[in-house]
Amino acid sequence: MDFQVVVLAGGNSKNLTPLVSKELPKPLLPVANCPVLNYVLHQLEQSNLKDLIVVVEGEDAALLVGAWISGTFIDRLHVEIAAVPEDIGTAGALRAISHHLTAKDILVVSGDLVSDVPPGALAATHRRHDAAVTTMLCSIPVCGPLESGSSGGKDKAKKLGRYNIIGLDPSKQFLLHIATGAEIEKDARISKRILHAVGQMEMRSDLMDAHMYAFKRSVLQEVLDVKDTFQSLKEDVLPYLVRSQLKSEALLNRTPQGEENSNEKVSSQNNQAFISRILANASTPSFHGIYSENPDGSSSTRKTHKCCVYIASSSSYCVRLNSIQAFMDINRDVTGDADHLLSPNNIIGPSPKLGTKTTVGPNCRLGEGSEMGDKCQVKRSIIGRHCRIGSHVKVVNSVVMNHVTIGDGCIIQGSVICSNVQLQERVELKDCQVGAGFVVTAGSEYKAESLAKKEK
């Protein structure tokens, strides 16, 4: 298919403190005991997209991620690891590696995306329309706890996240408007010139930008070069391309300036024939060029951009691991309704040792080499590898990472326990995060706290 794939894996995300650390960068955060980056790489492999550049923020994180990929995907993927400075943004990361981009089309995927949507479907849509950019849109995930005892503290109700306001053409193939970030808190304002140009626009607030894009390389590199202050693909590059596309179409439709500024209602009837011609030719390489003219009326080819969308099925699973709540949600989902994303292993890993009268409920996953004492209960939780859990311990709606020691009589609800943590006897945690290597003293009780070692 001649696509070059760039996976933006990130590094040490501040939104995920204290889960991430120098020893455990974001791409290696476990989802059901498997690094989150594995889910994207597996989907790319399934779509036969095997020539990858994995971009990691920070030299140390890049070494760790590279070592894991080499051991896991040896002889399966051709991966080049590229280390970039931290906090330069998604557009900045692409700008930093632009000299490595040589293919006609570039597929850019966020490394924190956990999805069952095949990347090949987006790539095929991009090629079919010969688009400048094609973005994947999916249904907004329901986030938050399912019931008392799961992550989230005070807010026990599941809720829809806040993502984008998106405008689509009637065929739902072309992206005509996108508002992100702080923009969506304001009233949506679209000039009459734009509305006259597009004729009809369907506004949607139930879709999110999944951070999977296909770019025509020449367009991407031109934008990154000319707009050297752009840092975000989602908030800078994509809206810029959409605006450029619509401004060009508005100019072609020649709406008078005075009319654009008036308060009259916009009617699309007079422009329907024009839009029909645009949409009829939307799959041709000359989509915009067909209708471009110089001011004197002579024909020319204008530099414009064609922005397309691939809308995933509403039944698809598509969530980004970009917050602690999302970390909890995804770990819950992939051991529950989205368990088809798991690798074909048993729910209980090889060789765990369970004491007498210890119960492990459905939607749980126990890692290799872990041991549990007598009369323990594990419900809707994930236990990592080589953990030592005493007797009379209760773990509910929680994630326990690797090499954790939990003393007798502990109760853990809706919490994340990072690797090498020690919980002494009778500790009670509810809606907490405990950073790597932290020791919680015997008899302690915490609610909605973040516990971590002080940085030296």
Question: Domain for residue 56, yes or no?
Answer: yes
Residue 14 has a pLDDT of: 85
pTM over 0.85, yes/no: no
Backbone angles phi, psi at 231, to 5 degrees: -115, -30
Q: Does residue 358 share a domain with residue 209? A: no
Question: Domain for residue 386, yes or no?
Answer: yes
Q: Does residue 442 share a domain with residue 325? A: no
In whole angstroms, what is the distance from residue 113 CA to residue 100 CA? 23
Question: Domain for residue 267, yes or no?
Answer: no
Q: Does residue 69 share a domain with residue 47? A: yes
Residue 243 has a pLDDT of: 84
Q: Does residue 238 share a domain with residue 92? A: yes
Residue 215 DSSP SS3: strand
* Cα distances (Å, whole numbers) of residue 447 to 35, 397, 433: 27, 14, 10
Q: Does residue 325 share a domain with residue 351? A: no
Please count the structural domains in the chain. Answer: 2
Backbone angles phi, psi at 412, to 5 degrees: -125, 120
In order along its 456 residues, the chain shows pLDDT tens digits of 579 999 999 988 888 999 999 999 999 999 999 999 999 999 999 999 999 999 999 999 999 999 999 999 988 999 999 999 999 999 999 999 999 999 999 999 999 999 999 999 999 999 999 999 999 999 987 665 544 344 444 444 445 455 678 889 888 999 988 887 655 555 666 666 666 766 778 888 889 899 999 999 999 999 999 999 999 999 999 999 988 876 655 444 544 444 434 433 333 343 444 433 433 343 333 333 333 334 454 444 444 458 999 999 999 999 999 999 999 999 999 998 888 888 654 455 566 899 999 999 999 999 999 999 999 999 999 999 999 999 999 999 999 999 999 999 999 999 999 999 999 999 999 999 999 999 999 999 999 999 998 866
End-of-domain residue from the set 331, 366, 398: 331
Question: Domain for residue 153, yes or no?
Answer: no
Q: Does residue 389 share a domain with residue 321? A: no
Question: Domain for residue 274, yes or no?
Answer: no
Residue 13 has a pLDDT of: 83
In whole angstroms, what is the distance from residue 216 CA to residue 287 CA? 15
Q: Does residue 371 share a domain with residue 315? A: no
Residue 287 has a pLDDT of: 35
In whole angstroms, what is the distance from residue 32 CA to residue 340 CA? 12
Residue 259 has a pLDDT of: 41
Q: Residue 378 is part of a domain; what is its CATH number?
A: 2.160.10.10
What is the CB-side half-sphere exposure of residue 166 using CA atoms within 13 A? Answer: 31
In whole angstroms, what is the distance from residue 122 CA to residue 104 CA? 15
Q: Residue 45 is part of a domain; what is its CATH number?
A: 3.90.550.10
In whole angstroms, what is the distance from residue 452 CA to residue 22 CA? 13
Q: Does residue 311 share a domain with residue 420? A: no
Q: Does residue 180 share a domain with residue 65? A: yes
Question: Domain for residue 365, yes or no?
Answer: yes
Q: Does residue 204 share a domain with residue 69? A: yes
For residue 236, give its domain range. Answer: 3-144+164-184+191-248+305-331
Number of H helices, E strands in the chain: 10, 34
* Cα distances (Å, whole numbers) of residue 37 to 43, 68, 240: 10, 10, 29
Residue 177 has a pLDDT of: 86
Question: Domain for residue 134, yes or no?
Answer: yes
